Amino acid sequence: MIKQPLKYIKIFATGGTFDKEFNEINGELYFKETNLFKLLELGRSKIDVKIETLMMIDSLKMTDRERLYILEKCKKEKTNQIIITHGTDTMVNTAKVVANEIKDKIIIFTGAMIPIKFGSSDGLFNLGSALSFSQVLDPGVYITMNGKYFHWDNVQKNKKLGIFEKIN
Amino acid sequence: MIKQPLKYIKIFATGGTFDKEFNEINGELYFKETNLFKLLELGRSKIDVKIETLMMIDSLKMTDRERLYILEKCKKEKTNQIIITHGTDTMVNTAKVVANEIKDKIIIFTGAMIPIKFGSSDGLFNLGSALSFSQVLDPGVYITMNGKYFHWDNVQKNKKLGIFEKIN
Amino acid sequence: MIKQPLKYIKIFATGGTFDKEFNEINGELYFKETNLFKLLELGRSKIDVKIETLMMIDSLKMTDRERLYILEKCKKEKTNQIIITHGTDTMVNTAKVVANEIKDKIIIFTGAMIPIKFGSSDGLFNLGSALSFSQVLDPGVYITMNGKYFHWDNVQKNKKLGIFEKIN
Amino acid sequence: MIKQPLKYIKIFATGGTFDKEFNEINGELYFKETNLFKLLELGRSKIDVKIETLMMIDSLKMTDRERLYILEKCKKEKTNQIIITHGTDTMVNTAKVVANEIKDKIIIFTGAMIPIKFGSSDGLFNLGSALSFSQVLDPGVYITMNGKYFHWDNVQKNKKLGIFEKIN
């Protein structure tokens, strides 16, 4: 295991189911602000983490413009441990854009199948998982879901089952 | 990073705050059964996991007898990835007993500061963290709490703050 | 206070925010089945209650057809204490249809601003409230929300604030 | 039904399971402060309510001294609608002390079998119930639990089942 120089872990929030909330005025799901701060407090996390919200959108509405912005932010980021919370539908697409240009950082995409604000969310589990993998994996771009980590180029979302799985 | 031959991960439940429940008849905290199954379902975990309850006790009530039983179970266990849920107060003591005899397995102790059944529990976060570390760390005995992993011989519980921290 | 002959309380579920769930496959809100059984268990309710699901729809999609069906079911119901869980947007409209024809029963409409399955739902509070009012109010058609009861012909939903209030 | 002059409803918090919290430093249940404000917010209650904490104790530790203090506070209270959150074990005893001296107010005792801070608490349901009954019952001293109201002199806690029931 190659020990990474532990400085801090950067978390970029981009939206997705993870941060969806229920708007009680119109009865629709919407984005307010990231729930990451609350989750880290809930997990009693003592990891040195910096959180930055890049956008708050559905990953199905993400275009090249947003992906290039995420890439740009990852490039400029000084720490080499980055977690990106992202909608699961196009998580792999964004991972590809990032992986094509960045080779020397640990970049982990994670998200949730159920919004944090629901009682039955998987978000806290996934965040604990992503934070842990970000401390010990080799540089590369990964997806962390369902308790596992996947290399960005060997994973797909099984949309029928709602889980991530290896391609080969 | 040394890749472990992924078979399955064994989780031994021993009790601790993690699995404490509220007895509505007498108003006291007690143990019923482990909440690990529900947590893995909540996390949508697709890891191959086998759960076994060894005991359901407060770690302050744990004696050498229980620690030797845990050690014995770890020795006999065929997989080399083991997670042990354990009360936080004497987690380090049990880790020491196990570490003195087992060198070739990844054994991770974890627990919770707040019971799973409370709304504000850190258990789901810690479980996501422990499962992740168990897949990538080198053989050894570790404690996983607060989003971090610690080698068993360089960690202590700070009882004032309720967190785990390095000794040196 | 006129004491009603306590037989049982009938609850008709019709859908609304109260019973909305999150579909983790497509990320949309949908109806599965009513959460009333679980809520009554959670409340440790010992009231003699019979639950019947009449429909599971958004109240904005409710037409005269559904309202007449609800009216019909209320007419045929043998007990004189009826609670109807209903979307808040057109709750008053349905109450009017029922009130125009039924004078001798206590009929209480209630619902929720936040789905039961969200951590921050008002559904359990409203159900406790509706069940209580149904045991002591005089015959009539009422709306129970925000801890209050309103006569059907003197209440409106304030859609900006998301609360129910008297007209006069 | 006698309509009470609606001014405000006073809620006296005295402790009990309702307000028990989990102390993550020593692993024991304790009292911090009442959760009533949060519960009323959760229920989107628009009732005019004033909350006052009289004490934060287990009802099994309550003595005549505390009961007389509660009685005194009820006597001096200007509104005639009072709710008292109280441990369930001796709720009936305190109700008797209050009922012996106060005849012209609606005084409702309620509580919870499971602390508010647990995911599975009945507290929100009971509060919705107590608030509702307090608006419509005749003057008297009552206990509201399990969705029902009971006159103070015809109710007992069934300690085996953990429910309240009529004596006759």
Contact at CB, A146 and B113, closer than 8 angstroms: no
Is the confidence at residue C85, as pLDDT, over 80? yes
CA-nearest residue to B16 within chain D is D27
Contact B132 A132 (CB under 8 A): yes
| Cross-chain Cβ contact D125/C1 below 8 Å | no
Q: Would you call B146 and A113 a contact, using CB atoms and an 8 Å cutoff?
A: no
Query: How many other C-beta atoms lie within 10 A of the C-beta of residue D73?
Result: 17
Amino acid at B11: I
**Does an H or E element contain D72, and which?**
helix D64-76
Average pLDDT, integer, range D81-87:
98
pLDDT at D72: 98
Q: Which residue does chain B place closest to D19, by CA atoms?
A: B27
User: Which pLDDT value is given to residue B3?
Assistant: 53
Q: Which chains touch A (3+ CB pairs under 8 A)?
A: B, C
**Which residue in the block uniquely carries the two structure tokens 């994670």?**
A110
Residue in chain A lying closest to B132 (CA): A129
Q: Which residues of chain A have pLDDT under 50?
A: 1, 4, 6
Confidence grade of residue C5 (pLDDT, cut at 50, 70, 90): low
Among C36, C42, C38, smallest CA distance to C9 is for: C36
Among B83, B127, B129, the residue to mutate for chain A (most A Cβ within 10 A): B129
pLDDT value at residue D3: 53
CB C96 within 8 A of CB D111: no
Q: Is pLDDT of C2 > 70?
A: no
> DSSP assignment of chain A, as one string?
-PPP----EEEEEEESGGGEEE-TTT--EEE-S--HHHHHHHTT--S-EEEEEEEEE-GGG--HHHHHHHHHHHHH-SSSEEEEE--STTHHHHHHHHHTT--SSEEEEE--SS-TTBTT-SHHHHHHHHHHHHHHSPSEEEEEETTEEEEGGG-EEETTTTEEE---
pLDDT tens by residue, D137-152: 999 999 999 999 999 9
Q: For the segment A23-68, what is each residue's pLDDT rounded down to a tens digit? A: 999 999 999 999 999 999 999 999 999 999 999 999 999 999 999 9
The tokens describing C111, both together, are 């619902």
Average pLDDT, chain D: 95
Contacts with D22 from chain B: Cβ below 8 Å: 114-115, 118
Distance from CA of A65 to the nearest CA of B (A): 31
Whether D73 shows a pLDDT value over 80: the answer reads yes
For D160, name the nearest residue in chain B, comparing CA atoms only: B25
For residue A160, the chain C residue with the least C-alpha distance is C25
Instruction: Give the pLDDT confidence score for residue D168 in this predicted structure.
Output: 86
Which partners does chain D have (≥3 C-beta pairs < 8 Å)?
Answer: B, C
Closest Cα in chain B to A133: B132
Q: Cβ separation of B29 and D29 shorter than 8 Å?
A: yes
How confident is the model at residue B106, as a pLDDT? 98
With beta carbons less than 8 A apart as the criterion, state whether C46 and C21 touch.
Answer: no
For residue B70, the distance in angstroms to the closest alpha carbon of chain D comes to: 23
Neighbours of D57 (CB within 10 A): 17
Query: Is the Cβ pair D146, C42 closer than 8 Å?
Result: no
Q: With an 8 Å Cβ cutoff, are B125 and A43 in contact?
A: yes
Task: For residue B117, list chain A residues with Cβ-Cβ distance below 8 A.
Answer: none
pLDDT of C18 > 60? The answer is yes
At B152, is the secondary structure helix, strand, or coil? helix
Partner-chain residue, chosen from B40, B125, B138, that has the shortest CB–CB distance to A124: B125
Closest Cα in chain D to B114: D24
Query: Would you call D44 and C1 a contact, using CB atoms and an 8 Å cutoff?
Result: no
Is residue C3 scored above 70 in pLDDT? no
Mean pLDDT of D87-115: 98
Contacts of A17 in chain C (CB under 8 A): 24, 27
> How distant, in Å, are the alpha carbons of B21, C76, C84, C109 from that of C106?
40, 14, 11, 10
Residues of C with CB under 8 A from a CB of A: 17, 20, 22, 24-25, 27-29, 58, 89, 113-115, 117-120, 159-160, 162
Contacts of B127 in chain A (CB under 8 A): 125, 128
pLDDT value of residue B119 = 85
Distance CA D70, CA A130 (A): 52
pTM: 0.94
Q: Which residue of A128, A144, A162 is in closest CB contact with B147?
A: A128
Give the model's pLDDT for residue B10: 98
Question: pLDDT tens across D4-58, in order?
Answer: 454 899 999 999 999 999 999 999 999 999 999 999 999 999 999 999 999 999 9
> How many Å apart are CA B132 and CA B139, to the nearest integer?
14
> From the list B46, B144, B149, which residue is nearest A147 (CB)?
B46
Convert the pLDDT of each residue in C111-154 to its tens digit.
999 999 998 999 999 999 999 999 999 999 999 999 999 999 99
State residue D9's pLDDT score. 98
Backbone angles phi, psi at B15, to 5 degrees: 115, -135
Give how far D119 is from chain B: nearest CA, Å.
5
The nearest CA of chain C is from the CA of A21 a distance in Å of 9
Q: Can you say whether the dihedral through the CA atoms of B96, B102, B106, B107 is positive or negative? A: negative
Question: Which parts of chain B sit beneath pLDDT 70?
Answer: 1-6
Residues from chain D that touch C42, judged by Cβ atoms under 8 A, are: 120-122, 125
The chain D residue lying nearest C42, using CA atoms, is D122
Q: Is the pLDDT of residue D136 over 90?
A: yes
User: Between B and D, how many CB-CB pairs are < 8 A?
Assistant: 43
pLDDT at D10: 98
Residue of D nearest to B24 (CA): D113
- DSSP assignment string, B76-97: H-SSSEEEEE--STTHHHHHHH
Choosing among B44, B127, B135, B137, which should be mutated to test the A contact, i.e. which has the most A CBs within 10 A? B44
The whole-angstrom distance between C106's CA and the closest CA on chain D is 13
* Residue listed under structure tokens 């990964």: A142
Determine, for residues C125 and D46 on separate chains, whether the beta-carbon distance falls below 8 Å: no
Residue D156's pLDDT band, with cuts at 50, 70 and 90, is very high
